Each structure stands twice: as structure tokens, then as C-alpha cells.
Copies of this chain bind each other. A is one copy, B any other.
């Protein structure tokens, strides 16, 4: 790799150059402190990120030279590379990184560029009982790619970085399918698909960094707010290497032959095998788009309107409801309204009619359209006319959505805790679940931090319920961030379980959610999953401690 390459932040989210500098961070923190009722003078001295060149990592137990001949060239035991593979980008990871704590660092990092090398690495790990942790974009926000507690008897650990496998191998135009290597990130695979006139249209917040394989094994949630929300639905077949051989399904549009093998891979979080490629359902780039931003004074009305739209069969691509505070923080409104972002798209035909029907449903529940909030775009016509871009609503929200993780990282240096969590529930259970979560999180923030703010948006909605996504912001103490965060996170997770929700709608389980996941899933299913893992990974080398006990 060239020295001029843009650098990823070691401790924080994304590109190092996109994390606000000290001055911008302070300005932002002052603003937030104001909202939280905290005096500027109470902001702590900022934490200084560790010098990447002077990290203190545990001594590696194995070296590249310990590997079979031919593998040493794709193994890296340097502190910098090991540190970059120690964590994902969960709030805990950012704080531990800021404090220079890299105790769970892997002993080696493998960077294969072809499947044969993945086979060799896995065979070596299996023979030596080394732990192998598949690593994609390293954007897990739930501790999905870190080794277990750094106990003395923990076996040597290899982080298997798959980003060297990043090609769109082939595009099959007739069926709209593409065979894509698992290590391709969003921009890489979309760039290659675009040359064929196709798109996967899967845009998680981590799109720029996360990989197809990571999306599949964590059941990532994407662009579509209704219908095919999870990546699961776009998988036509998957190729996964297990310690006992290749697990490869047939490329099929649908099947009824036994339980779906692909559905056991989706969500398996690296415990069953290493996904190396998948046939994905891709589509023509949409040409027509219709959008609207709808305001509601009453949140209850906004929820009812969103439900009506979710149950109408209209299946909007975008149907995101921001509560009053969320809309304000994202600067799409000034705090007096909840905002529903609606969007339809099609490569086949104009989308005015379904949008207007959805808007009518929203109006039935008191929704109001701010001037200029409805917009119909025809990409070809737009290119000719160079229409002006609209202001507010959708575009503003999208920019805030992309930047949010950078702000989270920056604010951590000033002790401000910002984190998100998500769930899903039935419509009839939402009001009580929501109230329970808000009560629990506010209580925990008050107790741990003195005060705090919680906002909610629906990222995805279904005929039978929404997927509410929460952001909490609280003023922490830089030396106690992990404890304060854990108290709030635990309160949130308990409230989710008690209210009938799921511990995760699309972030995954990892190490963070494991305790609640265990209580949520059926016990016999847990037994079945443990047994399934033992059958394909008899030595338990793959991501031990994730989903099931080693």
C-alpha cells in the first residue's frame, strides 16, 4: 500500500482526517453541553489519543515465521496492524482506544488476497488450535471482532482481514445477480457494479468501510426502510469456508428444500465459517424518485401515520420517522415537530402516485407538508435541466447520518457519551416499550451522569411493527466513561428485553449484546446452534465466545 493512502483513525471512526479537530470538537461539545444544561466550564480537559507509533501491546505469542512456508508473507505481527485489528468501532472500543488499552490485541493479522490463502490460514489455525477471528471492515459496534478477555490461557489469535478479497467477480445481467468477494467494501463493490449498470443498494451507516461479508454474517440493515430491509433478502447464495470444508449453496431465487442453509449463515457472526463470496441480488439504478417530508405536532399521530403507511402495501424505499428531538439534533426541524421522511424510487416508472398516496395517509393523521417538501425527480430529465437541490429534510438528514459516528468519536475526547442502540417490536407493544426505554435510559443517565438526552427514530418499519433506533447523549467523566456507558447500556438492554423487543435489529450480537441475546433466543435453538458449530468447527477456533460459549 502506498504511503500517500488516506489513513483510517486507529481509535475513532472512519478516516482520521474526518474526525473534527480539537477546536471544532470543543465548539460542538459546548453546544451539546448547552442542550444538556452543563456549563462550559464543567467540560473536562480533553483526552489525547495515543500516539500510534508508541502503543503498549501485549507481546505476541506467535510470529509470522511460525506459520507454514508461504503464509508468512500475508501475516503481520506489527503493533500498528495488531492494534488496528484489536477492536471494532463500538463506543467501548473508542474509549479503550483513546486510553491506549489494546490488551485483547490479536497475535497476528492475516491479509489473504485469494481463497486458497484463506484455506491455508484456516487449516493452520485448526491444526494448531489457534483462534481465528474473521475481520471485514472492522466497524462492528457490538464487539463482534475482538478476542475474548486476555486470559493467560487464551490460545494465540489470528485476525483474518478479508479486505484483500474485494472483487466483483462476475455480473449476470439476465437474472440481476453479481458474484462478489466478501471483503469488498460498499464503495468498492458499488463502483464495480456501476460499470455494469447495476447497484446493490445496501447502505448501512458504515457503508464506506464495512464489507459484504460483514453485512451477511451480521444481518446488516440497509437502505430500504420497508420490504427487503436486511441483507438476508439480497443473498442468492453464499460460499463459506468452515474448518470441515466448503459450505456453498446453490444460486436460487427461492427454494423449499429443508431449512435454508443461507439463513443459518446470515447472522452467524463468524462462528461457523469464513464467508469468502456471495451471489447477490442486484438491480438497475433507480431513475425516478419521489420524496416528501411530513411534519407532525403529535408524536403519537406521527407513529400512527407511519404505521398506516407501513401497512398500506406501498413499500416506500424510505420511511424514517424522527421524533421531535432527533429532528432537531439532525437539523431537519427546530424541535416542535416530528418529521417523517418518505421516499419512493424505481428504475421502471415514475413514483408520484405511490408517494401521493402515502402523503394522503400521513395527512389523515394530521401530517403537514412544509412548502417545497414534495419533490419528484427523473434522473434523466434532471441531468438535462440541472434542477436545484432541495433544502432541509431528506438531504440534511442524510449528511447528519453519515457524519454522526465521527462526532461520537470526537465527543468522547471531551467525556461526552454519545451512543446508539436499536430494537424492533410490534406496533401494539411500541408505546409501552418506548416509554420503558426512555424511562430506563433517562434514569440511568441521571444516576450515572447527572443528566442526559435520548432521541428516537424509526430506521425501518414493517406491517407488524417498527424498528426504533435510539441515540443517547450524556456528560461523562473522561476517567469513568466505560462504567457510565455500561450503566446506561445495561438499563437500555434490560428495558428492551422487558418490553418484548429484540436486543438488536441490525447491529448484531457480538460481545456487547451476548447476555441479553442468550435470554432472548429459545433455549433449544441455542443448543442447536452450539451443536451446529461443533459439527463444522470441532476445535472451536472460529470467533469463540460469540453467540455461543466456546
Contacts and interface: CB of A to CB of B under 8 A. Distances in A.
Contacts of A306: none
Interface in A296-346: 307, 311-315, 346
A506 B534 CA distance: 30
A252 B425 contact: yes
A463 B253 contact: yes
A465 interface: yes
Interface string A396-432: 0000000000000000000000000000111111000
Interface stretch (A74-82, A379-387, A517-525): A517-525
Interface in A484-521: 500-509, 513, 517, 520-521
A15 interface: no
Nearest to A508: B256
A219 B257 CA distance: 8
A41 interface: no
A25 interface: no
Interface in A438-478: 460, 462-467
A393 interface: no
Residue of A246, A259, A532 ringed by the most chain B CB atoms within 10 A: A259
A460 B348 CA distance: 21
Contact of A258 (B221, B307, B529): B529
A350 to B, nearest CB: 10
Contact of A346 (B263, B266, B313): B313
A261 to B, nearest CB: 4
Copies in the complex: 2
A228 to B, nearest CB: 9
Interface string A28-70: 0000000000000000000000000000000000000000000
B522 A254 contact: no
A249 B523 CA distance: 10
Interface stretch (A6-14, A16-24, A174-182): A174-182
Contact of A259 (B254, B268, B460, B530): B268
A549 to B, nearest CB: 14
B529 A536 contact: no
A509 B465 contact: no
A504 B255 contact: yes
Contacts of A261: 521-522, 525
Q: Which 3 A-B pairs have the closest CB atoms?
A: A253-B465, A253-B462, A528-B532
